[in-house]
Amino acid sequence: MKFDHILEKRISVRSYDSRPIDKKDIIAICEAARLAPSACNSQTWRFIAVTDRQSIRKICHEAMRHVIPNRWIEQVPLLIIGCSQLDIIANRIGSRVTGIEYYQIDLGIAMEHMVLKATELGLGTCWIGWFNKDKLKKILNIPKKIKVSAMLAIGYPKEEPSKKRPRKPINKILFSEKWGKSF
Ligand SMILES: Cc1cc2nc3c(=O)[nH]c(=O)nc-3n(C[C@H](O)[C@H](O)[C@H](O)COP(=O)(O)O)c2cc1C
């Protein structure tokens, strides 16, 4: 699949078939994350692939939040939990000096690599950021010092996803040379 086609095809999917995902595809998706760049090559990302139905049900019913309860994740065959292990000294010092949380950037890049690889494999995905991380950590035995920032739902789409969400035009997001000057 051409790269532009992958970008065009990717859309958040919230309705999934129960068909399981091959272990080799799960590994291919995680390999795509492994190749991602990271600040000082610190590779602080860690991932948990959750396929156990009972665990997914538990996460759905106990680790979501009101307002956006994400009930649709109950049917998802695979949840990837995006974690960061921050006891890498270079990462902590760098963030303290610049005030930039590099681990969040690193995790975002790695997980979007996963999204694009999954799209290439014909799978649907959706980022999930609206959850209770303390409850999630308890369910999955994630140690206290590990940060959890995001989840990905991955599976075979049940139906054609609804129409694409709109995007701002390029002249609203891209400036030339200085802030505010149109490109
Ligand atoms: C960091 C992040 C967190 C998100 N959290 C959720 C979520 O909790 N539930 C949900 O249904 N969609 C979630 N989304 C998906 C966005 O709503 C979606 O990407 C956006 O509306 C654009 O639509 P598209 O992905 O179909 O292009 C999240 C996306 C990102 C990048």
Average pLDDT of the segment spanning 125-133: 97
pLDDT of residue 88: 62
pLDDT of residue 163: 79
Average pLDDT of the segment spanning 53-73: 94
pLDDT of residue 90: 65
pLDDT of residue 64: 95
Classify domain 3-159 at the CATH topology level.
NADH Oxidase (3.40.109)
Mean confidence (pLDDT) of the chain? 94
Return the residue matching tokens 């209770």: 132
pLDDT of residue 91: 67
**Of 33-37, 95-99, 120-124, 168-172, minimum mean pLDDT range:** 95-99
Task: Give me the residue spans of the domains in the chain.
Answer: 3-159
Q: Are 147 and 162 in contact (CB under 8 A)?
A: no
- Residue 11 CA to ligand 1 center (angstroms) comes to 9
- Residue 128 CA to ligand 1 center (angstroms) comes to 6
pLDDT of residue 149: 97
What is the pTM for the complete model shown?
0.96
142-169: pLDDT as tens digits: 999 999 999 999 999 998 777 789 999 9
- Residue 56 CA to ligand 1 center (angstroms) comes to 19
Q: Is 70 in the pocket of ligand 1 (CB under 6 A)?
A: yes
Instruction: Please give the C-alpha separations between residue 48 and each of 41, 81, 152, in angstroms, as whole numbers.
Output: 20, 5, 10
**131 phi and psi angles, rounded to 5 deg:** -150, 170
Q: Is 37 in the pocket of ligand 1 (CB under 6 A)?
A: no
Chain centre distance of CA 88 = 22
Q: How many CB atoms lie within 10 A of CB 154?
A: 28
Average pLDDT of the segment spanning 125-129: 98
**Residue nearest to ligand 1 atom 29, measured at CA:** 127
Residue 15 to residue 36: CA distance in whole angstroms: 28
**Residue nearest to ligand 1 atom 7, measured at CA:** 128
- Residue 93 CA to ligand 1 center (angstroms) comes to 31
**Of 60-69, 72-81, 90-99, 163-172, minimum mean pLDDT range:** 90-99
**Which of 64, 128, 133, 149 to mutate to test ligand 1, by most ligand atoms within 8 A of the CB atom?**
128
